[in-house]
Amino acid sequence: MTVARFQEFLDENGVKYVTIQHSPAYTAQEIAAKAHVPGNELAKTTIVRIDGELAMAVLPASYQVDFDTFAQAIGVGSIELASEDDFADRFPECEIGAMPPFGNLYGMEVYVAEALAEDEEIFFNAGTHSELIRMDYKDFEKLVRPKVVNLSAIA
């Protein structure tokens, strides 16, 4: 799904959103600074392996995944960070590390940090390192149906 196709998906579902262009940035905190978005409001997508299956952990840019807490919250033995080689072919139209948190479009379970679910809006990469999308969290929740869990701690 290209960035244009992703935006088309949002349009087809009647979702209001804003695209934010910024100069290229590669870390979540750098993106937040360049786009003038608070780090606790920018969602970063981390790909993890849960019982061998790829899944998305979506958390504020200023947080990090707490793998033990996350595993305990969903009742599994362990969760590990996936390598880029594990998922690069899953998002062929996206730049590595800039995948939107719509795992449902890629056959992946999506887990969202409780801190993000408390916000009115969500900001996230739109498939590139120079474009964000801002939309209401309720619309994101309606389209993705993520599982909201305690999966992170402030970095």
Per-residue pLDDT of 95-112, as tens digits, reads 888 999 999 989 999 999
Q: Which residues contact 39 (CB under 8 A, 6 or more apart)?
A: 28, 29, 32, 60, 61, 62
Q: What percent of the chain has pLDDT over 70?
A: 97
How high is the pLDDT of residue 152?
78
Count of domains forming the chain: 1
How high is the pLDDT of residue 155?
65
Say whether pLDDT at 1 is over 70: no
CATH number at residue 27: 3.90.960.10
Per-residue pLDDT of 31-54, as tens digits, reads 887 787 877 788 999 999 999 899
Domain that holds residue 29: 3-154
How high is the pLDDT of residue 92?
83
